[in-house]
C-alpha cells in the first residue's frame, strides 16, 4: 500500500475570512485525481503559535519562526488583520504529482506531533471512488483513503 508523508515544514498563508473557527480544530481537504494529490489545511493561527496577531515580542517572533520553515512575510511583519471577532487562520495548499496516485492508500500526518495545540482535524476526502469525511484526533497519524474502484 502506498503512503504519502506530509511534513511539518509548510508555507503558511494568513487567512482572515470571517467564518467561525475553534481553537485546536483544523480543517483539511484531500483531493485525488488523475496524477495529482491536492491537500489543503486550515488551522486557527492560535493553534500554531499561541496567538492570532502579528508577533509583538522577540519570543513570539521566535515561536512563529520555529513553527514553520517557510512563512508568508505578512505573518511575521506588518499587521495580520484578524477577522471581525479577532480570529485569524493560517492555511496551506500542497500539490503533489505522482504517477501512481491511484495506489495511494493512506496519508501519514505529522500535524498532531508538530502542533501541540491541535486537538482535532476535520477532513473532507474526494477521490475517483467518491467523497467521504473523517475526523482525526490526537494521537492519530494515519488517514486512510478509500480504495479505488476496480
- pTM higher than 0.75: no
Q: CB of 13 within 8 A of CB of 72?
A: yes
- d(C-alpha 90, C-alpha 98), whole Å: 26
Q: Select from 115, 14, 16 the least CA-distant residue to 73.
A: 14
Give DSSP secondary structure letters for 119-144: -EEEEEEEETTEEEEEEEETT--EEE
Question: How buried is 43 (Cβ within 10 angstroms: 0-12 exposed, 13-18 middle, 19+ buried)?
Answer: buried
What is the H or E stretch that residue 27 is in? strand 25-33
Q: Select from 146, 143, 148 the least CA-distant residue to 3.
A: 143
State the average pLDDT for the chain: 76
100-110 pLDDT, tens digit each: 887 888 999 88
3-state secondary structure of 98: coil
pLDDT in tens, the chain (150 residues): 444 444 434 444 444 444 556 778 999 999 998 889 999 998 888 887 887 777 888 988 887 777 766 445 454 444 444 444 556 777 888 888 888 887 888 999 888 888 888 999 999 999 888 899 999 998 899 999 887 665
- d(C-alpha 109, C-alpha 106), whole Å: 9
Amino acid at each position: 500500500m502506498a503512503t504519502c508523508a506530509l511534513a511539518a515544514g509548510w508555507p503558511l498563508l494568513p487567512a482572515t475570512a470571517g467564518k467561525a473557527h475553534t481553537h485546536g480544530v483544523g480543517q483539511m481537504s484531500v483531493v485525488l485525481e488523475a496524477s495529482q494529490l491536492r491537500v489543503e489545511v486550515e488551522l486557527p493561527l492560535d493553534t500554531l503559535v499561541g496567538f492570532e496577531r502579528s508577533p509583538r515580542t522577540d519570543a513570539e517572533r521566535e515561536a512563529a519562526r520555529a513553527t514553520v520553515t517557510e512563512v508568508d512575510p505578512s505573518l511575521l511583519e506588518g499587521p495580520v488583520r484578524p477577522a471581525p471577532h479577532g480570529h485569524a487562520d493560517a492555511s496551506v495548499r500542497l500539490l503533489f504529482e505522482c504517477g501512481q496516485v491511484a495506489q495511494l492508500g493512506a496519508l501519514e500526518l505529522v500535524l498532531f506531533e508538530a502542533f501541540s495545540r491541535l486537538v482535532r482535524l476535520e477532513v473532507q476526502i474526494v477521490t475517483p471512488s467518491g467523497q467521504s469525511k473523517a475526523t482525526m484526533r490526537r494521537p492519530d497519524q494515519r488517514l486512510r483513503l478509500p480504495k479505488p474502484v476496480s
